[in-house]
């Protein structure tokens, strides 16, 4: 993989990466812990990509297939996902997010956004303006992550 940001010093690159990582950890820490991060990530994957086989979800989440089967069973019992017949293979099933799952995921995102907004509200006007100016870059980082996940 080539680096577009090759003009960035190694120290600056590391500092930026650490700051972005720490911000992500802050978001995770500030949302309710009523569900595992793997369950949330699995639901988000289904929301973003649509129905998937359990084996695909396991690979996407980096967990063993039996662990994903157990997680899907629990999400299904909670009403967040459902199994559907795979139209391309009648012997297989696809896992799909239900309306309840969409609502639960939306609520988590809303709570996370509100929690981060509380921190943004504590910035000075100058700091807030700098953060607004960085929005295209933050969106681009997210886009790059989604592109990498789609390839994997």
pLDDT in the model for residue 8: 80
pLDDT in the model for residue 74: 97
Ordered by where they begin, the domains of the chain are: 33-103 (1.10.10.10)
Measure the CA–CA gap between 131 and 117, rounded to whole angstroms. 12
pLDDT in the model for residue 32: 77
Compute CA 78 distance to the chain's CA centroid, rounded to the nearest angstrom: 20
pLDDT in the model for residue 152: 56
Taking a C-beta distance cutoff of 8 angstroms, is the pair 75, 36 a contact?
no
Token output for 19: 């700051």
- Please list the residues that pair with 97 across neighbouring strands: 81
Question: E strand or H helix at 96, and its extent?
Answer: strand 89-97
Measure the CA–CA gap between 46 and 40, rounded to whole angstroms. 10
Q: Give me the tens of pLDDT residue by residue for the chain, a chain 152 residues long.
A: 445 556 788 888 899 899 989 988 888 888 878 899 999 999 999 999 999 999 999 999 999 999 999 999 999 999 999 999 998 887 889 999 999 999 999 999 999 899 999 999 999 999 999 999 999 999 999 899 888 876 75
């Amino acid at each position: 993989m080539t680096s577009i940001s090759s003009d960035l010093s190694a120290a600056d690159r590391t500092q930026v990466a650490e700051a972005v990582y720490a911000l992500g950890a802050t978001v995770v820490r500030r949302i309710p812990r009523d569900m595992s991060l793997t369950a949330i990530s699995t639901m988000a994957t289904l929301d973003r990509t649509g129905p998937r086989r359990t084996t695909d979800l396991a690979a996407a989440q980096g967990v063993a297939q039996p662990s994903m089967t157990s997680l899907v069973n629990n999400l299904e019992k909670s009403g967040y996902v459902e199994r559907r017949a795979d139209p391309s293979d009648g012997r297989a099933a696809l896992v799909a997010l239900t309306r309840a799952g969409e609502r639960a995921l939306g609520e988590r995102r809303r709570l996370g956004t509100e929690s981060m907004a509380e921190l943004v509200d504590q910035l000075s006007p100058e700091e807030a303006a700098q953060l607004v100016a960085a929005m295209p870059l933050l969106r681009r980082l997210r886009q790059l992550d989604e592109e990498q996940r789609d390839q994997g």
